[in-house]
Amino acid sequence: MCDDDTTSGPPGRRALLVTGAAAALTLNGVSFAAADEDGEGPAQGGGRTGETTRKVTGRLPVGAPDYVYVPVDVPQGVRELAVSYTYDRPATPPGTAGNACDIGIFDERGTDLGGRGFRGWSGGARTEFFLRADDATPGYLPGPLNPGTWHLVLGPYTVAPQGLTYDITITLRYGPPGTPRTPAYPPQRAKGRGRAWYRGDNHLHSVYSDGKRTPAQIAALARAAGLDFITTTEHNTTASHPAWEGLWGDDLLILTGEEVTTRNGHVVAMGTDPGVFIDWRYRARDDVFGRFARRIRRAGGLVVPAHPHATCIGCNWKFGYEEVDAVEVWNGPFTLDDEVAIAEWDNALVAHTHGRGPWLPAVGHSDAHRDPDVIGLPQTVVLADDLSRDAILDGIRAGRAWIAESSSLDLTFTTTGPKGEHATIGDRLPVSPSAPVTVRLHVTGAPPNSTARFLTDQGQLFTAPLTTGTATATWHTTPANATYVRAEIRHPATTPGVPGAMAAMTNPVFLGRG
């Protein structure tokens, strides 16, 4: 599968291992000789100084395993481990993917799926990284550099027909270790306004994965967007969790999480305990997703598939919805794949009302990475008892949430029965099948010439023009006619017969006794 060479000796035996999930190729190890063996890093006073470097080269063919491990024997006395890598990018025929290769590292505790050895991942965002006890490249976890067999992990995301040739340089620097820092994690409660509707963006990226903004820049932009809470969700790493010190406050709750980026879809582990890592090294065929979904829940978080119909390689959601708590149906500026995600989600609502599936609330997030991505486009607005992690996640789990393109748009969506019974977003109005129900949508900050739509298990049954920014739309129905009703606010259409882009949408109100 792979030809490789290192400066530490001739190629050794290679093994194709099954690690509890996807097949993985493990190469021969990289050995660092004793410090005085080759004149580098001479021993002085019982300890090493200086540095040693080894290089690894190899080639991966089309069809290489998802993950390729390079064992590195780390001796005593290492103060810093530094890695850089490159790979070739040959021209490919039209319509054929070129080379893309991610990188990360596991420490001496091993590479077991879901194990404790994870020490960092930068995907394809960086060509080099370092780790020390007191510091690390963003995306990587500072901590002790204990002796033992560490593993670099390459992720050949796509491989050109010509194959993928890589070069890795590994440098160990010796000396006394730095003093580890005690991480300061964000508090799980902010001042808030008691029971209220709170606005947040739960899918964001910074320099700690493939984003370009710092946590400080993100926090400032979140405040400017009128958000009450955000969640840090870097690709396949928890390294950002302690990076928000001094950025939270009474006005901004910061939750921790991860975007678990597999080869068969991405899932936002929303609001997990700080420092809890969720593994990503599996496909749908490996039948282990349920294990990691349960891990997310044990860590206090929600399991939320991200952009389930996005067109990027590996982004389509293939794991099903049995182990899911909510669905990200709107990701960033509204596009056709969001339209498809909403249609799929609405079909699941119909199935649920007939007892054929779970109730999965809809959420929307910006997935912002860099300028000009807009934090809070869109945002999820949650009815919560207070501004705390538990209350926000409880509100989302219950479907007491709606999605808006910005904080300038506000709405209320209510249903009323014949005896004054009342229900709002995410609730049930428990009235008889023939009972008259009044549905009312009140909007402020609506886009010019937008349209309100009321949708049910029969599809769209009511529309109303919103000719001014503040407007009210009212409709009358019965549970026999609509087992649920939800609202959308759409921008003016630009293509005949196709609704305009979404400006806001609600989760449903369920009608009838169920």
pLDDT of residue 389 exceeding 50 = yes
Angle at 228 between CA 338 and CA 363, to 5 degrees: 20
3-state secondary structure of 32: coil
pLDDT of residue 202 exceeding 60 = yes
Helical (H) or strand (E) element with 423: strand 422-424
In the numeric block, which tokens belong to residue 269? 């582990």
In the numeric block, which tokens belong to residue 56? 């690894």
Mean pLDDT confidence for 266-284: 98
Whether a cis peptide bond, with omega within 30° of 0, leads into 372 is: yes
Distance of alpha carbon 465 from its chain centroid, rounded? 36
**Closest Cα to residue 490, out of 446, 458, 456?**
446
Mean pLDDT confidence for 157-183: 96
What are the distances in angstroms from CA 512 to CA 159, 332, 415, 505, 508? 54, 34, 11, 22, 13
Instruction: State residue 347 phi and psi, 5-degree precision.
Output: -60, -35
What is the C-alpha separation between 38 and 36, in angstroms, rounded? 6
3-state secondary structure of 495: strand
**Closest Cα to residue 426, out of 402, 457, 410, 442?**
402
3-state secondary structure of 357: coil
The predicted pLDDT at position 329 comes to: 98
**Closest Cα to residue 402, out of 368, 431, 443, 351?**
443
What is the C-alpha separation between 109 and 139, in angstroms, rounded? 19
The predicted pLDDT at position 207 comes to: 98
The predicted pLDDT at position 307 comes to: 98
The predicted pLDDT at position 473 comes to: 97
The predicted pLDDT at position 22 comes to: 55
pLDDT of residue 39 exceeding 70 = no
Amino acid identity of residue 133, one-letter, is A
Listed range (41-55, 286-300, 377-391, 428-442) with the worst mean pLDDT: 41-55
What is the C-alpha separation between 169 and 56, in angstroms, rounded? 6
Length of the chain: 514
pLDDT digits (tens, 9 = 90+) for 58-89: 999 999 999 999 999 999 999 999 999 999 99
**Segments of 62-158 assigned E as strands:** 67-74, 78-87, 100-106, 118-123, 128-132, 148-158
Instruction: State residue 390 phi and psi, 5-degree precision.
Output: -60, -45
pLDDT band at 45 (very low <50, low <70, confident <90, very high): very low
Mean pLDDT confidence for 381-407: 98
Listed range (11-20, 108-117, 235-244) with the worst mean pLDDT: 11-20
- In this structure, the number of other CB atoms found within 10 A of the CB of residue 471 comes to 17
- Of residues 159 and 39, the one with the higher pLDDT is 159
C-alpha count within 13 angstroms, C-beta hemisphere, residue 408: 9
Q: Are 418 and 504 in contact (CB under 8 A)?
A: no
pLDDT band at 514 (very low <50, low <70, confident <90, very high): confident
The predicted pLDDT at position 34 comes to: 54
The sign of the CA dihedral 326, 329, 333, 337 is positive
pLDDT band at 47 (very low <50, low <70, confident <90, very high): low
pLDDT of residue 55 exceeding 60 = yes
What are the distances in angstroms from CA 246 to CA 232, 250, 252, 270, 392? 15, 12, 11, 21, 22
pLDDT digits (tens, 9 = 90+) for 300-324: 999 999 999 999 999 999 999 999 9
Listed range (28-42, 377-391, 444-458) with the worst mean pLDDT: 28-42
**Closest Cα to residue 107, out of 59, 141, 60, 56?**
141
The predicted pLDDT at position 49 comes to: 80
What is the C-alpha separation between 282 and 40, in angstroms, rounded? 40
Instruction: State residue 11 phi and psi, 5-degree precision.
Output: -55, 140
The predicted pLDDT at position 311 comes to: 93
Mean pLDDT confidence for 239-246: 97
Q: Are 512 and 430 in contact (CB under 8 A)?
A: yes
Mean pLDDT confidence for 362-375: 98
**Closest Cα to residue 154, out of 77, 276, 64?**
64
Distance of alpha carbon 269 from its chain centroid, rounded? 6
% the chain with pLDDT above 90: 90
pLDDT of residue 8 exceeding 50 = no
What is the C-alpha separation between 201 and 382, in angstroms, rounded? 11
pLDDT digits (tens, 9 = 90+) for 437-471: 999 999 999 999 999 999 999 999 999 999 889 99
Q: Are 267 and 303 in contact (CB under 8 A)?
A: yes
In the numeric block, which tokens belong to residue 296? 């997310």
The predicted pLDDT at position 48 comes to: 74
- In this structure, the number of other CB atoms found within 10 A of the CB of residue 474 comes to 12
Q: Identify the burial level of 143 via C-beta atoms within 10 angstroms of its C-beta, where 0-12 means exposed, 13-18 middle and 19 or more buried.
A: middle
Average pLDDT, the chain: 93
